[in-house]
Chain A
Amino acid sequence: MTKGKKTITGAELLCRCLVEQGVTYLFGYTGGAIMPVYDAFPKFPQLKHVMVRNEQAAAFAAQGIARATGQVGVCIATSGPGAMNLLTGIADAHMDSIPLVAITGQVTSDVIGSDAFQEGDIVGSMIPITKQTYMLDDPYEIPRIVREAFYLANNGRKGPVNIDFPKDIANAVIPDEGFDDTIRYPVRQPVGITLAQLQHVKRLLASAERPVIFVGHGVIQGGAQAEVLELIEKTQIPFSVTLHGISALPAEHPLCLGMMGMHGTVEANRAIEHADLIIALGMRFDDRVTGKLNEYAKNADVIHIESDPAEINKNVRVSVAINSDLKPALVEILRVAELKDTKKWLATAVENRKLWTGLDPVNASAGLGPNGKLLMGYVIERLSEVTEGQDNVVSDVGQHQMFAARYYKFKRFNTWFNSGGAGTMGFALPTAMGVKIAKPNEQVWVVVGDGSFQMNIQELGTIMAQQLDIKIVLLNNNFLGMVRQWQDLFYDGRFVGTPVKNPDFITLASAYGIAGERVDGKEQLEAALQRAKVHKGAYLIEVMTDIEELILPMIPSGASFSDMRITK
């Protein structure tokens, strides 16, 4: 059958299709079932494989590429446990709408379903946490499925796609011709803004006295920052950002109220509580944003512009439901939007900001906590100053994440990376590897706690091997700080399962050839940050922080905005 014809193996065909999709970096870990694919890599020098130390990190590093560039990130693992280790990183990407293609090896077709060695039901495991999963059991389908996987990952609502690839298909030798790569599932386009909706928006804009614009992740993913900024400046309506909307627009813009929600700023949350109009752009009213739903923004009309129809009217009932990409809808709205007199409304926000500035321990107690140790908020504020708000910040999950979100004054577009929806500890170190590889000429800082650092600490090995110049700011209070805060506030101070007995992090880093220093006082901090900044190569600053620090304000889980706690 194959006589006289040019042939190709399934593994080579897969690699060639990846090259055609523009893939450069793959993060992964080899193993029995995926070996044929690895064996083909040298024939495709464009493909650069980065070996991680645990597959979970491969999914996060691929996310780093995707988050930093908007391109599809690629991770690869072997069957069974290798693929299973990917799941957390894939689920995280699904929650945050990050485009990934995860290639997993699978046992040979003839033994699938027989509990073969290192077999796992990966398609079954991936279905609830991906946009699409494929069992690639026909080598002729490789070109279509690879093309379709990349198309689906990065079109419509973005997200992860899994291709499960049995070993015998990778080894199959087939004639190199006659492939059909037609995409079978065209992504449905949003309907766009209608004339009636535009008129409704115009009326609401004209009559609103206390309007707020919400800037969500969609503004970054849709590249609509210029249109959003124009709307804000043309109308003089203040804006608040979601956790993932951070770095869409400059944090120090005079109309910026800062982050909204559970750990949002006083001025943002008070403005939302009293708003009579909310214009929500590319966001999904997550429970950390809304608190108690039936009391949320009770007096406000909500205009929601969102490309995913399933997110509209999901949590918050809206007055104008616009299923559209942001840019085209905003271009229309800009035609009807007019300058508003928001001076009085803005003055209220300024009052609230002053109120908080006076109470903020970072100012009120000169950056030191009740035990005389440094405050995380203060450390981030110094980091923001030393880097002039210009650098990339990859944060992990916990108190330090909220401090980084609130105190780093992002000046540049899409420079803030963190796990929002899933809240996965262990996110920062591996994701930063992807961000650094995607932006080799930019500075990348990891902000991480002592708990989350150790969730993927093995990736110091990858950082060492790849010589990645990543600066790590470890905020160490020898505690799982965020849970400790909840225990402090809502569990009568019973600190169960939260104290951490930590290793000597500086010695540990040095075992990986990573330079570092410990900071235990205000006077050392700035110099240490400066040293990290100019150091060639990775650098660890371990800052000893105050155990009793709380991230405030806080709207307790499930409470309403009027219950916001500004002080303990």
Chain B
Amino acid sequence: MKRKKLQTILAFAHNQPGVLNKLFSLIRRRRYNIETVTAGHTHVDGVSRMTITFSHEEGSKIEQIVKQIDKLTEITRTEDVTDANVINRELVLLKVKAKAEDRIHITATTEMVGGKVIYLAPDYVILEIVGKKPNIDNAIAMFEAFGILGIARTGPTVMHRDEEDMGLDRVVLPKKRDE
């Protein structure tokens, strides 16, 4: 088996129904595995941002799939940001067993990994931690000794440190109709 590699793609798109469907269909057809997707609005009305990570065998033609994604009608701009100068953050919600005597240790550990306790129940806590994927992996490991009851990860979202090309030359937004 060849080693699997994780790739991060940043795409901007018209916020229209079916865009994610098209994107997933394309990635599936190329036989890559989608690991995470985050999508949301941007500061431009009608334009969404998506960060997609997928795994593939080393040596696959990533350049090709980026070009194919870029061809989808609603996509305004696609970029492989795996090695780009971007901020990359993921949020995890962690439900951890917390007996009374463990709480103080859990709070201390949470602080050390830069997280926050956001919910307290008699026998467990929920934490939120934001960071890069390896930092989050590492933080989760720190809580395993207490007993993990649940993990909710968003997958990474990225933003360029410098100016971002959202492909706005490909964005024509129709006038809003008066009802």
Contact = CB atoms under 8 A, between A and B. Distances in A.
Interface of A: 123-124, 127-128, 131-133, 135, 140, 144, 152, 157, 178, 180, 182-186, 188, 308-310, 313-314
Interface in B18-32: 18, 21-22, 25, 29
Contacts of A309: 67, 70-71
A72 to B, nearest CB: 16
Interface stretch (B93-101, B108-116, B138-146, B171-179): B171-179
Contact of A183 (B71, B172, B175): B172
Contacts of B14: 184-185
A534 to B, nearest CB: 48
B67 A184 contact: no
17 contacts: A127-B22, A128-B25, A131-B73, A132-B73, A152-B73, A157-B71, A180-B175, A182-B175, A184-B14, A184-B171, A184-B174, A185-B74, A186-B170, A309-B67, A309-B71, A313-B64, A314-B61
A184 B173 contact: yes
Contacts of A135: 17
Contact of A127 (B21, B61, B68, B177): B21
B63 interface: yes
The 7 closest A-B pairs by CB, nearest first: A310-B67, A132-B73, A185-B73, A184-B172, A310-B68, A182-B174, A128-B25
Nearest to B66: A310
B71 A310 contact: yes
Interface in B61-90: 61, 63-64, 67-68, 70-71, 73-74
Which of A178, A180, A185 is packed against the most chain B CB atoms within 10 Å?
Answer: A185
A341 B137 CA distance: 65
B172 A182 contact: yes
B172 A185 contact: yes
Contacts, number: 51
Nearest to B68: A310
B66 to A, nearest CB: 9
Nearest to A148: B73
Contact of A123 (B18, B63, B70, B174): B18
A200 B70 CA distance: 27
A132 B171 CA distance: 16
Nearest to A140: B177
A68 to B, nearest CB: 26
Contacts of A140: 177
A197 to B, nearest CB: 18
B23 to A, nearest CB: 10
A310 B64 CA distance: 6
A179 B22 CA distance: 28
B172 A180 contact: no
A182 B63 CA distance: 32
Given A133-B18, A152-B73, 7 more contacts: A127-B25, A128-B25, A140-B177, A180-B175, A182-B174, A309-B67, A310-B67
A188 B170 contact: yes
Contacts of B71: 157, 308-310
Nearest to B67: A310
A12 B177 CA distance: 21
B79 to A, nearest CB: 14
Contacts of B172: 182-186
A308 B68 CA distance: 10
B173 A128 contact: no
Contacts of A182: 172, 174-175
A310 B71 CA distance: 8
A182 to B, nearest CB: 5
B55 to A, nearest CB: 21
Given A183-B172, A186-B172, A127 B18 contact: yes
Given A188-B170, A310-B71, A124 B21 contact: yes
A320 B131 CA distance: 42
